[in-house]
Amino acid sequence: MRNASRDINKKTKNSSEEWNDKTNDKGYNLAYVSTKNRLLVLKEIALYGPVSRVTLASALGLTKAALSKIVAELLSNHLISEISPDTISGCNTPGRKPILLKISEHSPCVCGILINRHRIAGIIADLSCHVVEKEVISYESLNSEEDLLEHLLSLYHTLISKTSRQVEAVSIASLGPIDDENGKILSPFNFYGIHNMEICRLLEDQIGRPCFLINDANAGALAEKMYGFDKSASNFIYLNIMNGIGSGYILDHKLYRGENGQSGEIGHSSINFSGPQCDCGNIGCLELYANNRNMNSKIRQMQSKYGVLGTLPHKTGDYSFDEILCAAERHDPYALTALDEFCNYLSVAVLNVIRFLNISTIVIGYDSASDKQLLEKTLFHLLHDKMDFAQEHSLIVRHSTFDGNAPLYGAIARAADLVFEGKLNWLNGTDENKEEIKR
C-alpha cells in the first residue's frame, strides 16, 4: 500500500511554489484557479457558515455566476447543504431572508485522536468541526507500542461503529517530540519507552485510510486559528498545559511547525542555566520548575509550617492541577502561592518568546472546573510588569476556546486544512482518495 499521508505531507511543504508554477502555465491556469476557488468556497462555509451566497461572493470576490456554479457542484457532491435562516436562533434579519449554506450532514468526516500519557481521546467530526461521536480510552501504563496501537484501533473502530458518516482520514495529535512529516512518535519523555513509532504507517496498514500526525500544542494552535475565537488573529502563541508545557505558534495567519513538526517545545527551554539536568539533556528546563509536583511541594511546605488552612483539605496524595486552581479561585492562600510561583516560572519562558517574535496574544489551554480566569490574569500581570510596552501595544492572555481539548479539535483542523489546500481531494467525492490508498 502506498503511504499516502507521507506523500501529502511532502506536498504541503512547497504549496506556494506549486501555485506559482501552475499559474505560470497558461494552459493549466484556468482549471487550477477553478479548483482553488471551489476550495475557498468550501473553506469559507466550513469556518464561517452558515453563510449566504451574497456574503460568500463578497468575501471571496467571486461573481454571482461563478459562485452559483461552485455552490451547485458542492451541493451535488453532498459536501454542503442549504438551510433556512428561520431554523437558526437569533437570526431576526428584517425582509426577505436568504438561504444559507453549511457543511452537509452527509459530508465525509475525519477521525481525530489525541494521545496523552494516560489516555487517548477520539472524535468523529466534519470540516466545520461539528462533532458527531466521541470516545475516550484510559490506561495506567503501556507495555509496548503494540499496546498503544491496539488501543488506537479499538478507539477508531468504536467510533466508526457509532456513525453512518463516511470517515475518510485519521488525524492524530500527540505529545512530542514527533516527526510529523514521516508520521513518527519519536521519544516522548516518560511515555513507556515508546521510541520512533511509525504510528501513521501502522494505522494505515490496518484501516486503509490516510493518517496524519501533528504535535499536540501545534494542533491546539491550529484549532484556535481555524475554529476558535482567533480566526482573524494574524499572530498568537498557544500554550498547552497538559503533558508538561508545550506551545504552538500562529505567525502571519499560518501555523509555524518547524522543519518536521518539532517546534514549540517551550517546556524544554532553559530558565536556569545553574539548574538540574532534565531528561531531555538540557539544563534547568521550564518543566522542571513549572509543574504540578512543585506546586504540591510548595503547598506541603506551607501546610507543615502553618497548618492546614483555607479550603484545601489535608490529603495523603497529590492535589491535581485542577484542584489547586479551584482552591486558588476560592482564595486559598497556599493554592494562590503555588499558582503564583508556577506562573512566575512560566512567564520567564513566555517573555522570551514574546520578545523574539513580537507577539502580544497568548492563548492557554488546560482542563479545569475553575472559571479559567485566575491563571490567565496572574500570567498577564507577571508578563506586563516585566515588559516595556509601548502605549499602543496591547497584551492579551486568555483561555482557550476549547478548554483542554484544543489539540483534539486541532487534529480535525489538520486534516481539514489539507482538504482546503487541495492536498486531500474531497471535491469530486472521495473515490480518488480511496484508490490512492489501495495503490
Cα four-point dihedral sign 135, 138, 142, 147: negative
Q: Which residues lie across from 121 on neighbouring strands? A: 114, 136
- The packing angle between helices 145-161 and 199-207, to 10°, is 40
Instruction: Determine the residue type at 349.
Output: A
Q: Is the dihedral of CA 158, 47, 254, 291 positive or negative?
A: negative
- Both 121 and 149 in a single domain? yes
CA-CA distance, 53 to 378, in Å (whole number)? 44
Q: DSSP string spanning 3-18?
A: -HHHHHHHHHTTHHHH
Half-sphere exposure for 38 (CA within 13 Å, toward CB): 22
CA distance 204 to 237: 32
> What strands lie across the sheet with 244-251, from one edge to the other?
254-256, 244-251, 236-242, 361-365, 396-399
Same domain, 364 and 416: no
Per-residue pLDDT of the chain (439 residues; tens, 9 = 90+): 445 555 555 444 444 444 445 445 554 576 778 889 999 999 999 999 899 999 999 999 999 999 999 999 999 999 999 998 766 655 555 556 789 999 999 999 999 999 999 999 999 999 999 999 999 999 999 999 999 999 999 999 999 999 999 999 999 999 988 999 999 999 888 899 999 999 999 999 999 999 999 999 999 999 999 999 878 889 999 999 987 899 999 999 999 987 766 677 898 889 998 989 988 888 999 999 999 999 999 999 998 888 877 788 878 889 999 999 999 999 999 999 999 999 999 999 999 999 888 888 999 999 888 777 899 999 999 998 888 655 346 899 999 999 899 999 999 999 999 999 999 998 875 544 434 433 2
Give the pLDDT score at 261. 62
85 closest CA partner among 57, 106, 55, 65: 55
**Residue where a domain stops, chosen among 80, 103, 126:** 103
391 and 256 part of one domain: yes
Same domain, 198 and 240: no
pTM strictly above 0.95: no
Kindly state whether residues 297 and 345 are assigned to the same domain.
Answer: yes
What cell does 428 get? Answer: 469530486
Question: CA-to-CA distance for 70 and 73, rounded, in angstroms?
Answer: 5
Indicate if 20 and 98 belong to the same structural domain. yes
Chosen domain end from 103, 136, 165: 103
At residue 242, φ and ψ (nearest 5 deg) are -150, -80
Picking from 259, 245, 257, 254, the residue whose alpha carbon sits closest to that of residue 349 is 245
CB burial string 300-327: b at 16+ within 10 A, e below: eebbeeeeeebebeeeeeebebebbbbb
Distance between CA atoms of residues 313 and 435, nearest Å: 60
What does DSSP say about strands 109-115 and 167-174: parallel, antiparallel, or unpaired?
parallel
Same domain for 193 and 121, yes or no, is: yes
- Judge whether 102 and 126 are in contact, CB under 8 Å: no
Q: Are residues 431 and 337 in the same domain?
A: no
188 close to 194: Cβ distance less than 8 angstroms: yes
Give Cβ neighbours of residue 330 (< 8 Å, ≥ 6 apart): 310, 311
Count other Cβ atoms within 10 Å, centred on residue 432. 12
359, 265: one domain? yes
- Cα separation, 213 vs 197, in Å, equals 12
SS3 34: helix
Q: Structurally, how many domains does the chain consist of?
A: 3
Question: Domain of 37: which CATH number?
Answer: 1.10.10.10
Distance CA 158, CA 160 (A): 6
Same-domain pairing of 71 and 199 = no
pLDDT at residue 389 in the model: 54
pLDDT of residue 5: 55
pLDDT digits (tens, 9 = 90+) for 322-372: 999 999 999 999 999 999 999 999 999 999 999 888 888 999 999 888 777
The span from the CA of 230 to the CA of 406, in Å, is: 13
The last residue of a domain, from among 50, 70, 103: 103
Contact 365, 238 (CB under 8 A): yes
Query: Domain of 25?
Result: 4-103
Do 311 and 363 belong to one domain?
Answer: yes
197 and 143 in a common domain = yes
Report the CATH number at residue 334: 3.30.420.40
